[in-house]
Structure 1
Amino acid sequence: MAFKLSPALVKNSLASHSWLGLLTGALMYWVCLSGTLAVLYQDFERWETPQVPEFTEVSPEDLETAYQTFMEGQEATEHAYILMPRPGMPRTVLMSDHDARVLNADGTLGDTAAHPWTHLLTDLHLYLHLPSSWGMIVVSTLGVMLCALILSGFLAHPNLFRDAFHFRRKGNGRLEQTDLHNRLSVWGSPFHLMIAVTGAFFGLASIMSWVAGQAFYDGDRDAVIEEIYGGHPDLEPTGEPLAIASVLRQAIDRSPDGAVPIYLTVEHPESEEEHLIVGTQYPDRLIYAEQFVFKGDGEYLHTVGFSDGEPGRQAIFSVYRIHFGAFGGVGVKLLYIALGLALTVVSVTGINIWLAKRRHRDYLNNLWTGIVWGTPLAFVISAITQVVAGIPSVLIFWGVIIASTIYAQWRDQDAPTRRVLQYLTVGTLLVLVAGHALRFGDDAFTGAAPWINAGLIATAVAVLLWARRPSAA
């Protein structure tokens, strides 16, 4: 199949595609790789803290008692949360704006809930470790640029579909990289476009809400947010204690069969505006949850309408699960990982092709090699220092990447540098698995931990085999 496009359009599209790829470069690679790993963020949280008790059921009365205990002595907080056992995360956590505690199986409060390495991973994907307000906009802008890259890529290669199964494995390295880039781009384009659009939404939603507020709500941005996500109810103080157990049971009764309450939010605790929101996940729906709103004394007010409201509201509250593959179980996660890795490879091979076209080597080649193969190494070493040794790891993560680029510049040879970084990644992956088992003992063989460790070993084997290829890229 060939598109009938003018040679001038193809030439201009190719130039645009190249410059957009260069502008995104390393940032796109970091976002794609971290996003692929973040599909397993719940599993990584469980792996990082395997000693936390896991159970799938907890009584509403135990939650009510635990909440009262948790809030004793708490600083003033705008929100308090109870995260209940849910598919993929059989744990219960109580949170405020200042503290988080796990719940033991007997209903007592346990240790502080913290998984800093998993947050390092997800914060890189969401914010690139920048301040959250700015980082989200940067990452979302990358989503917009990815949409442009996909469009310009198709326009720049009118024979893309005709050549979809043509792959030159031997000979010219640049042609091999080009075929790999183009084939993965074609096969994964629906997924890549979905990821780009939903990723762009997260950070640009605040900008779009401001624009909509200016255009339709007399400059009132809060009115736009309330129109989409629901506003605060008008309440009068009742003086009654929070009826947490009652509202949980009511939410279950008002939900369809199979629906599971996954969180309870206390809005403005111990104030005149205090009220309760129960988030209930519906079976076979992409919405993250329907929200049931109650007064503090347990009187039911309304649902927000994410399950049966306006189509736009339903779509917006489905973006999270679509973007992160948080639906459909293990099979969907594995599919998202495979397609996410394909997008990561596309981002890398795009820069590789541009570097090969220059017909000379300089510090840019070394910088790119250090970034591409230093980043996986940085993930592993930061996991060792944080999960095994308990040492804060964000600076270590970036330090490893910087050290890798310095080493690449000093070595000034692509293939030997790659192999050294790849072999280091293999070795540190095995150290991570062994260190995890030594630190957590029997807990390292419960819950999600053995599956993650098995995946780390399989990754080490895959990287070793890749490193031993004569033309490993």
Structure 2
Amino acid sequence: MAKSPVSQSLSKRSLASHAWLGLVVSGFMYLICLSGTIAVLHLEFERWEQPYVEETTAFSIEQVEKAYTQFTEQYDNDTHHYYFVFPGSGIPRLVMEDDNNAHFVDAEGNLGAKESVTWTRMLGDLHMFLHLPMSFGMIVVSAFGALLCALIVSGLLAHPRIVKDAFRFRAGGDGLKSNIDLHNRLSVWGTPFHLMIAITGAYFGLAGILVTIISQAFYDGDDQAVYDKVFAPEPVLEQAVVRPEIGKAMTDLFTRIDPENLIFFTIHEPDSPQQFIEFYVRTPAHFTYSENYRYNTSGEFLETAGYLGDDGGKQILWSVYRLHFGDFLGMPGKVLFVVLGMMLTIISATGMNIWLKKRKTQDALNRLWPGLVWGTPNALVVSAMGYFAFGLSPTVCFWVALLGITVAALKATTQERVTRYLKYVFTLVTCAFLIVYFVEFGPAALNFAALQINVPLLLVAIWTGYSARKQQD
């Protein structure tokens, strides 16, 4: 029986809705994967934002105490925490801060320039919650992590020859076969990594929901009681409200640890009877982010948090950050995570490419997708240029640029032209940005803090331009 005109119309509208929904889902997945890959280098980007800041791996107790004194005299105590960040954090700089302000500290312990990580924070926020309201955005991104788990498992099950064909690659033609092989090969090679990223990514946003469910079921809605079961509860103290003895606490701490492993310390609830000092110390032999050493206001040792104890579950949860962001093995570990992250990003892009090429129709979707794929790196560079040159909001610059690029992509006649043009644009925009960066920072642009980002960026821009030229030939 032939379908009625109404039934045919509904079918077409449903198919179109499905196509647009697939584009939206794939687009968010691509944004999360690409921004996360770049964000692996977030510490390097923080140094890149202020390349003129003095760098060192040395510090003294007197230096720390002087910086704390100057900071507390300069700012009122409208804060719940004070922090001092050491070179063991991965950045060879000293930083004194509270919940609202942060200053670099020089060799004499004096406060220097204010810390500014505006562009790096924009990048991290894009990855963690897509610039949506934070709590909601983290749930959305974590849901994509769960979706990624399902896609990985279903993809492996759907291709019984996927392992046997692990090194098969077909080039030429209209690009469909090469996209299929690239998608499948990278999926096989990176499966363990991709699953780990997906699971840990899902954890960050969904953990809060699980805590709420557990607290309602077993702890009368007391979320803190659940956190205290998983993480070390804060000590209960009643002390005189006096200046914390940071020097005394650090002197004792250095008899227990290697000072090079000190990440930062926190003074919790300053100027209150509950005030205590907590030192976060790297654990090179473990994936655990840190072991924490706690001292009271008088600088007397209280306890360790126990993240290296016999509780395997606690160790696993305290390791999620390092596992997700590749925060181990130093720079080699970060380079490995960037490579594996780019593999996952390419998988996200080629999955949509395959679907588009298999369709019998050519419409706006075919041009919007490459507009998003190649528009995103362009928008990131534009956001950095707007920020460094004019002090504009990187977040606003990013989304305005990305929207403009994707709309402009609709004017192209083919998907291939969108890709080629935007590759050329990326090369030109990157070169323009590097000129802006050099003008902004002058000789400091030749410091290692700047070159470790700008040199790879320039190489990527050169490769992108070469790729566009080769595609044209």
TM-score, length-scaled by structure 2: 0.92
1:195 matched to 2:197: yes
Name the CA distance, whole Å, in 1 between partners of 2:80 and 2:42.
26
Please state whether the residue corresponding to 1:130 is helix, strand or coil.
coil
SS at match of 1:463: helix
Partners in 1 of 2:226 and 2:251 — Cα distance? 31
Contact 1:258 1:283 in 2 (8 A): no
Gaps of 5+ in 2: 1-18
* 1:430-465 Cα shifts (integer Å, max 9, x gaps): 122222222212211223211211111111111112
Whether the 8 Å contact between 1:411 and 1:417 is mirrored in structure 2 is yes
Q: How far apart, CA to CA, are the structure 2 residues paired with 1:240 and 1:77?
A: 16
Deviations 1:55-81 (A, max 9, x none): 111112221221122122325111121
Alignment-derived partner of residue 92 in structure 2: 90
Separation in structure 1 between the aligned mates of residue 113 and residue 122 of structure 2, nearest angstrom:
21
> Contact between 1:126 and 1:135, CA under 8 Å: does it hold in 2?
yes
Q: How far is the alpha carbon of 1:308 from its aligned partner? A: 2.1
8 Å Cα contact 1:430-1:457 kept in structure 2: yes
**Partner SS state of residue 362, structure 2:** coil
In the alignment, which residue of structure 2 is the partner of 1:213?
A: 215
Q: Is the 8 A contact 2:23 2:365 kept in 1?
A: no
- Which amino acid in the other structure matches residue 225 of structure 2? A
State which drifts further: 24-33 or 282-291. 282-291
Distance (Å, rounded) in 2 between the aligned partners of 1:403 and 1:19: 19
Distance 1:19 1:362 in 2: 11
Q: 1:259: Cα distance to partner?
A: 5.6
Q: 1:164 aligns with which of 166, 187, 191?
A: 166
Tell me the amino acid that sits aligned with residue 26 of structure 1. Answer: G
* SS, match of residue 410 in structure 2: helix
Q: What CA distance in whole angstroms lies between the structure 2 residues aligned with 1:449 and 1:173? A: 38
SS at match of 1:448: helix
> Are positions 1:448 and 2:449 aligned together?
yes
Q: How many residues align?
A: 455
Report the equivalent of 1:415.
Answer: 416
For residues 373-392 of structure 1, the aligned pairs below 5 Å read 373-392=374-393
Once the two structures are TM-superposed, the CA of residue 232 in structure 1 deviates from its matched residue by: 2.1
Structure 2 CA distance for aligned equivalents of residues 434 and 309 of structure 1: 54
Output one character per residue of 1:307-343: Cα deviation in whole Å (capped at 9) or x when no partner: 2241111111111111111110221111111111110
Distance 2:263 2:143 in 1: 31
Contact residue 21 and residue 350 of structure 1 kept, 8 A: no
Taking the aligned partners of 2:110 and 2:463, their CA distance within structure 1 comes to 43
Moved more, 90-99 or 205-214: 205-214
The 5 A counterparts of 1:186-335 are 186-255=188-257, 257=258, 260-335=261-336
Task: Describe the shift of the 1:259–1:111 C-alpha distance in structure 2 as closer, same or farther (beyond 3 A).
Answer: closer
Aligned residue in 2 for 1:143: 145
SS of 2:243's equivalent in the other structure is coil
CA shift for structure 1 position 22: 5.3
Contact 2:89–2:262 (CA under 8 A) maintained in structure 1: no
Q: 1:22 to 1:363 in 2, by over 3 A?
A: closer
Match of residue 39 from structure 1: 40
Please tell me whether the aligned partners of residues 240 and 296 of structure 1 are also in contact (alpha carbons under 8 angstroms): yes
- Superposed CA offset, 1:397-428 (max 9, x none): 10111111111112242222222211111011
Is the 8 Å Cα contact of residues 63 and 107 (structure 2) preserved in structure 1? Answer: no
* 1:401 alignment counterpart: 402
Q: CA deviation at 1:21?
A: 6.3
For the Cα contact (< 8 Å) 2:23–2:369, is it kept in 1?
Answer: no
Equivalent residue, structure 2, for 1:5: none
SS in 2 for 1:271: coil
Contact 2:420 2:471 in 1 (8 A): no
Which residue of 1 is the match for residue 179 of structure 2? 177
- Residues 188-217 of structure 1: CA distance to partner in whole angstroms, max 9, x if unpaired? 111100100111111111112222323443
> 1 CA distance for matches of 2:311 and 2:450?
41
* C-alpha deviation, 1:151, in angstroms: 0.8
Distance in 1 (CA, whole Å) between partners of 2:395 and 2:221 is 39
Aligned counterpart in structure 1 of residue 105 of structure 2, from 103, 106, 115: 103
Output one character per residue of 1:112-168: Cα deviation in whole Å (capped at 9) or x when no partner.
Answer: 111211111111011111111111111111110000000110111111111111111
Matched residue, 1:8: none
Greater shift after overlay, 394-403 or 165-174? 165-174
When structure 1 is superposed on structure 2, of 199-208 and 429-438 the one drifting more is 429-438
Deviates more, 1:147-156 or 1:428-437: 428-437
Q: Find the aligned partners of 1:159 and 1:291 in 2 and give their Cα distance.
A: 48
**Structure 1 pair 434–400 and aligned structure 2 pair: CA distance change class (3 A):** same
Shift of 1:350: 0.6
Return the offset for 1:258: 6.9
How far 1:362 moved relative to its partner?
Answer: 1.0
* Aligned-pair CA distance for 1:175: 1.4
Note the C-alpha offset of 1:32.
0.5
Mapped to 2, the partners of 1:118 and 1:139 lie a distance apart of: 18
Q: Residues 41-97 of structure 1, C-alpha deviation per residue, up to 9 Å, x if partnerless?
A: 111111111011111111122212211221223251111211112263001112212
CA apart distance, 1:349: 0.6
1:218 is displaced (CA, Å) by 3.8
Within 1, Cα distance between the matches of 2:186 and 2:472? 19
Q: Distance in 2 between matches of 1:237 and 1:385?
A: 50
Q: What residue identity is the alignment partner of 2:344?
A: L
Taking structure 1 as the reference length, the TM-score comes to 0.92
Task: Provide the alpha-carbon RMSD of the alignment.
Answer: 2.0
Deviation at residue 287 of structure 1 after TM alignment: 1.3
Shift of 1:239: 3.7
Residue range with higher mean Cα deviation, 36-45 or 52-61:
52-61
> What percent of counterpart residues are identical?
42
